[in-house]
Copies of this chain bind each other. A is one copy, B any other.
Amino acid sequence: MAESWSFLDTFEPNFRPLVVIELAKGTKEETIEWFTKRIVDKKANGGAQLLIKPLVTENGDENIYLVGASHLRLLLGAETVGLVKECNDNSMRTFTYSSRKTFKDFADDNHDFLTMAECQYIIKHELENLRAKDEKMIPGYPQAKLYPGKSIVRRLLTSGILVQIFPLHDREELKKLRHSWYGRVKVGYQPLDEIRCYFGETIALYFGFLEYFTFALIPMAVIGIPYYVFAWEDYDKYVMFATFNLLWSTVILEVWKRICAIMTYRWGTLLMKRQFEEPRPGFHGVLGINPITGREEPVYSSIKRQIRIYLVSLPFVCLCLYFSLYVMMIYFDLEQWALDYHEENESNFSSLMLFVPSIIYAVVIEIMNRIYRYAAEFLTSWENHRLESSYQNHLILKVLVFNFLNCFASLFYIAFVLFDMKLLRQSLATLLITSQILNQFAESLLPYWLQKRHKKRMKKRMCSLKADTDLSLVEQVNLEKEMGTYFGTFDDYLELFLQFGYVSLFSCVYPLAAVFAVLNNITEIYSDALKMCRVYKRPFAEPTANIGVWQLAFETMSVISVVTNCILIGMSPQVNALFAESKTDLILTVALVEHLLLAIKFIMAFVIPDKPRDIQIKLAKLEFESLEALKQQVRATDMYNSEK
């Protein structure tokens, strides 16, 4: 079986370590033997046909394994997962082993045809699709039940035998990427294609969206600055700014779809066929027959899930929303108290005190958001969704609703109940800036600092044990396995979503919000890049063709912002002065304008095509070719039959 892998034969020619498997310490010998045998076994015998070697650490533990694969195996795997690559004629096609010669840069000895991220994705896919045959349980662990077709890796993970699987960093590549990404001071685009090669499409698309969104905010910011500098308060200028904002936000969201299509076409994910979704790891139920696959697997009644959603989760979310509103009322009491204090003893200190309630509230909001996040994850996991996508959608919905109310309720209250535009502006500024500072700190700087400290400690310990400089691989694995895990782009998108809310919902009251958003996003790009490269374990690449449900979330926000901005403008004293004789006329006008703007938004979204013309033509061409191929096949049958 697999030979031992010591820190001396790092450069064995046929084995390039790609993925690390960490088993629990003290895992039974028979389990390890069975698991590694299944991994190296031939596909024909139901194995994954990969290469695996134990990593011997300084204390002799054999609980870490390195997984790799032969070049041929990876190419066949690329066909299995349906990778799309560029052909010699510059068109994008699904890779098949038999047509490999037609692909650009393909050569039998070119091991860079597949990027390392793609290789790691293929290995992850193969490992996850390693399925139980006739085993009733994991050897050595009778309580870890198996049934035919159950993913072995997922059962090992849920029963705690497998601690983690993660892809290794490529230190050379990472160094290069770091340099071109944030290493030098420069004005320009991010190296999105390189990011995609290293981290995969989901993460590259997030950075692409972040960059696009920042650029898209610049016009708003530029137009917003004179409002602050010259303290413009004219009615017509505000209306112009708000109208521009509303139409602009529709345009940027529509244009993003087009840019996204261009990028994902180039990356091949736009053409990738959706794979059949297996149940998510945490899904449990009694064994039954899946009506779709006809296979035996856990089945959980949809009615039970509906009951959990509507009778437990929904009331809980409502309770949380109520609690959030309650906290908001406390904030207003504090605010009032600070105002009273300021009026009683007017001093520099007391005027500074005016900002304290807002800052405290912003901190409390952040804390509540984070606590609620855990509760939402727990609840959604307890709802026992069969598919990861369904789990994600329910989680996102729960988190979005709460975060929206939590962040914006106080602003709505100030705007539409207290009618205090000055306070609104002040609250908005405090909330926006505080949350940005907190986020930057909690997201990257804190983990980075912890990571730095940990690394130093590790290095010291390592060095004290052996005075060897050739430790790199063992050291690298040991370092990386202790790094935090990146849980996906959810939090990053959520932050952008809330920022979009701050910028667009009340844009006509505080035009400077866009300026802060732009400034924040520029540093965000760098701190997120730092986070990806330095703080977290390398995540597995995840092919994706768009930003999914976030597109819908941003579009909904832009619809809501039409309503809020129209009301705000209608409430402004300048507009009220204009309609001095009749308040009814004012409201009717505002309502009319609002409906017109909404109608224009929908028409614009309808008229702007989601994909640029050349991408449309390329897609149509591929579709046409596959239809033609099918016809040729039919025609061949026709001829055969007619000649009989």
Q: A292-B621, A642-B49 are in contact. Are A97 and B43 (CB under 8 A)?
A: no
Q: A43-B642, A276-B627 are in contact. Are A76 and B291 (CB under 8 A)?
A: no
B-contacting residues, A609-628, CB 8 Å: 613, 617, 620-621, 623-624, 627-628
User: Is residue A638 contacting chain B, with contact meaning CB distance below 8 A?
Assistant: yes
Task: Please indicate the chain B residues that have their CB under 8 angstroms from the CB of A43 in the complex.
Answer: 635, 638-639, 642
Per the bound structure, the CA–CA distance linking A276 and B622 in Å amounts to 11
Q: A98 to B637, Cβ gap below 8 A?
A: yes
Per the bound structure, the CA–CA distance linking A44 and B49 in Å amounts to 45
Interface residues as binary, A293-314 with B (CB distance below 8 Å gives 1, 0 otherwise)? 1100000001000000000000
User: Is residue A101 contacting chain B, with contact meaning CB distance below 8 A?
Assistant: no
Shortest Cβ distance from residue A271 to the other chain B in the assembled complex, whole angstroms = 15
Main secondary structure, interface of A, reads helix
Shortest Cβ distance from residue A21 to the other chain B in the assembled complex, whole angstroms = 22
Per the bound structure, the CA–CA distance linking A591 and B593 in Å amounts to 13
Task: Please indicate the chain B residues that have their CB under 8 angstroms from the CB of A292 in the complex.
Answer: 617, 620-621, 624
Shortest Cβ distance from residue A507 to the other chain B in the assembled complex, whole angstroms = 20
B-contacting residues, A98-112, CB 8 Å: 98
Q: Identify which of A155-163, A459-467, A580-588 touches chain B.
A: A580-588
User: Is residue A563 contacting chain B, with contact meaning CB distance below 8 A?
Assistant: yes
User: Is residue A275 contacting chain B, with contact meaning CB distance below 8 A?
Assistant: yes
Copies of this chain, whole number:
2
B-contacting residues, A587-617, CB 8 Å: 587-588, 591, 595, 613, 617
Q: B584 to A631, Cβ gap below 8 A?
A: no
Which bucket holds chain A's interface residue count? 35 or more
Task: Please indicate the chain B residues that have their CB under 8 angstroms from the CB of A587 in the complex.
Answer: 584, 587-588, 591
Residue of B nearest to A598 (CB): B598
Task: Please indicate the chain B residues that have their CB under 8 angstroms from the CB of A44 in the complex.
Answer: 638-639, 642-643
Per the bound structure, the CA–CA distance linking A583 and B584 in Å amounts to 7
User: Is residue A641 contacting chain B, with contact meaning CB distance below 8 A?
Assistant: yes
Given contacts A43-B635, A43-B639, A80-B638, 7 further A-B contacts (CB under 8 A): A44-B643, A76-B634, A276-B623, A276-B627, A276-B628, A292-B624, A584-B584
With beta carbons under 8 angstroms apart, the residue of B98, B563, B634 that contacts A80 is B634
